[in-house]
Amino acid sequence: MTDLDEMLEALRTQERRLEAGLRLNARLARAVMLERTRAALGGLSRGLWLELVLLLLAAVVLGAFAARHAAELRFLAPAVALGACALGFAAATVRLLVALRELDHDQPVVRLQARLEALRLARARLEALALALGPLLWAPALLVLARGLLDVDLYARVSGAWLVANVLLGALVLGAAALVARRLGDRLEASPGLRRLTRALTGRELRDAEAALRELRELEQGASGAQA
């Protein structure tokens, strides 16, 4: 073997070692980024479990209140409405927890990003619905809380017109929100402003998980370009 052959063989050996080192570094970086994603989503999961417990507790308390006032429709109706909302939000929270549990962190980053994006939008829609329902539900909640905690009958303290106006205002806000969402649909979801709003609604955990996946995707793209 000539000196040139030996030099070429040494270069090939060095190249193989370099490629092996790059692959190892890529695997280590992927593991670190995915661990960051898991940690962020773990925080989201704990928050959702807490929300679920509170919603179920609220439903139980409202059910007990409704049972005590079964003969008084004016208190029974708002308690039942609030309890139904609590159970509805609890069911939606369970769906989010199931979606989190079914996330496969070993799948390609692009697919994982798509699943996380769908989860973020579902979470944002739930938070937006809660905000839209607030004006509609605060008057019934006030009636139930005053009666249940203070034994005060607000029906005797406020006028019927006040109650009707609050319910109509809440229904108007909810209807307007639903109309905007239906009319604009995909255009809203594609707008940068709404994307910032949904990220604000969904909290820090999902933002951290998405940031880790973006970094991982950029790293993998950079590694692929270097190998090419």
pLDDT for the residue numbered 96: 93
SS3 for 168-200 is: HHHHHHHHHHHHHHHHHCHHHHHCHHHHHHHHH
* pLDDT for position 2: 61
How many domains are there within the chain? Answer: 1
Domain that holds residue 46: 3-125+132-227
Task: Please name which of 62, 60, 48 lies closest in space to residue 93, comparing C-alpha atoms.
Answer: 48
Using the Cα atoms of residue 164, residue 139, residue 52 and residue 33 in order, give the sign of their dihedral: positive
According to the model, what pLDDT value does residue 116 have?
A: 81
pLDDT for residue 176:
73
Pairwise CA distance, residues 33 & 29, whole Å: 6
Per-residue pLDDT at 27: 61
> Mean pLDDT of successive 10-residue segments in the chain (228 residues)?
62 65 56 71 88 96 95 94 96 93 78 80 82 84 92 84 78 71 54 54 61 64 53
| Residue 57 confidence (pLDDT) | 97
Query: Which of 30, 34, 48 is CA-nearest to residue 100?
Result: 48
The DSSP code for 156 is G
pLDDT recorded at residue 146: 92
Q: Which of 228, 223, 226 is nearest to 24 (CA)?
A: 223
Scan for tokens 């994982």, then name that residue: 112
Nearest CA to 100 out of 24, 47, 32 is that of 47
Q: pTM of the predicted model, to two decimals?
A: 0.71
User: Residue 202: what pLDDT?
Assistant: 53
Q: What is the pLDDT of residue 89?
A: 96
